């Protein structure tokens, strides 16, 4: 390993990657790889503040946490503990910590926002407790400066995306408040679609777009008259035609949100299309249907079948999955059905 100064071309490359990356992993994976490749560290990780809104149901406090966001090798800690946070908050340089029963030997660089508030920390660890080499410390200081340049920008962008996501979910809940049959549907189908997308190895940006499109998939139903939306039995042909119009009306509404990516709009526009071309509103078929819409369509039908509605009882998950599997190659993309089966199988286990 090389513990001398970084070659200028590598420093320039890391700077360019950091300044142009659209996500923390994209910006910081090369940094962590450089640490483990050019120092005596066996692993490196980046920890960043995660702010919890007061309305979050996932936590019991509004205090921020500092989880490991990216690591190369095993992360030395799952999250930064309070005592380490206090020391990092007041540390002007590097924090050198010997091994304890709770963590291996650590060398940590605090990452601060422009006002001096602690945003995160860059940590490297080694299996033994020997002293860190001067070159290790110099490299960590250099890379911490680069991380400081990009982390605050990416953190602000993440917070903006979170705000957008909360707004989209609020829109979906507005529809559920109007149609009690849909209560809980959006959260369930969004979670399931995300798991299927992960099983199909969608890129992070595509997964985010799938989730946002799932929140808004039926937003066009806000325009439906009550006699159609709440009709207790089979729809008349005129009602059915009016119901189908909710797709284009939802797409028109969603296009007013300039931050929505095209793949999210695809979910709204095409989640009623079918693999064999018999769906609506465009009669698209096969891979002409965007993948995010194909994934969502199977998850949407599964959740609708397993949920009680005014006109039917809830199906068992097994019966609903069997129905989706029977539609493989006609209603649904066979690869999506395979991934849904895999996800549901894992959850059933």
Q: Is 165 helix (H, G, I), strand (E, B) or coil?
A: helix
Nearest to 30 by CA among 1, 10, 4, 2: 10
Strand order from edge to edge, sheet including 43-48: 68-72, 43-48, 118-126, 105-112, 95-97
Known active-site residue 312:
no
- Which DSSP category does 99 fall into? -
- Across-strand partners of 111? 120
Provide the 3-class DSSP secondary structure of residue 102. Answer: coil
Q: Where are the beta strands (DSSP E) in 219-269?
A: none
Q: Give 256: exposed, middle or buried? Use CB within 10 Å, 0-12, 13-18, 19+.
A: exposed
* Contact status, residue 125 vs residue 74, Cβ threshold 8 Å: no
Question: Minimal CA–CA distance to 222: which of 197, 258, 252?
Answer: 252
Return the structure tokens found at 43. 């692993």
Which residues face 95 on adjacent strands? Answer: 108
- 64, two tokens: 């921020």
Closest CA to 96 of 82, 83, 81, 107: 107
In whole angstroms, how large is the CA radius of gyration of the chain?
Answer: 25
The greatest distance separating any two alpha carbons of the chain, rounded to the nearest whole angstrom, comes to 79
Helices 262-270, 291-306: crossing angle, 10 deg rounding: 50
| Catalytic residue from among 221, 272, 274, 284 | 221
**Element (H or E) spanning 70, and its range?**
strand 68-72
List the catalytic residues. 221
């Amino acid at each position: 390993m090389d513990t001398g100064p970084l070659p200028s071309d590598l420093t320039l490359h890391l700077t360019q990657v950091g300044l142009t990356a659209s996500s923390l992993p994209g910006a910081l994976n090369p940094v962590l790889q450089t640490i483990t490749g050019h120092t005596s560290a066996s692993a490196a990780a980046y920890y960043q503040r995660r702010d919890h809104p007061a309305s979050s149901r996932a936590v019991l406090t509004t205090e921020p946490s500092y989880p490991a966001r990216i690591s190369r090798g095993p992360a030395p800690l799952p999250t930064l503990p309070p005592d380490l946070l206090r020391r990092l908050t007041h540390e002007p340089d590097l924090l050198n910590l010997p091994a304890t029963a709770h963590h291996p030997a650590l060398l940590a660089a605090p990452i601060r926002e422009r006002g001096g508030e602690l945003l995160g920390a860059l940590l490297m660890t080694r299996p033994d407790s020997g002293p860190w080499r001067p070159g290790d410390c110099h490299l960590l200081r250099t890379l911490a400066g680069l991380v400081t340049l990009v982390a605050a920008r990416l953190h602000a962008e993440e917070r903006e995306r979170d705000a957008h996501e909360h707004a989209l979910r609020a829109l979906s809940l507005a529809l559920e408040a109007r149609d009690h049959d849909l209560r809980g549907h959006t959260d369930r189908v969004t979670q399931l679609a995300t798991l299927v997308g992960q099983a199909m190895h969608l890129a992070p940006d595509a997964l985010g777009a799938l989730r946002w499109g799932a929140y808004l998939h039926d937003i066009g139903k806000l325009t439906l008259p009550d006699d159609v939306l709440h009709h207790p039995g089979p729809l008349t042909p005129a009602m059915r035609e009016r119901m189908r119009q909710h797709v284009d009306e939802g797409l028109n509404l969603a296009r007013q949100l300039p931050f929505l990516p095209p793949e999210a709009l695809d979910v709204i526009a095409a989640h009623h299309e079918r693999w064999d071309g018999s769906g609506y509103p465009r009669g698209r078929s096969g891979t002409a249907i965007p993948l995010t819409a194909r994934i969502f369509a199977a998850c949407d039908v599964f959740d609708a079948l397993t949920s009680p509605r005014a006109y039917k009882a809830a199906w068992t998950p097994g019966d609903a999955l069997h129905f989706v599997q029977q539609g493989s190659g006609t209603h649904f993309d066979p690869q999506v059905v395979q991934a849904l089966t895999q996800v549901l199988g894992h959850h059933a286990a």
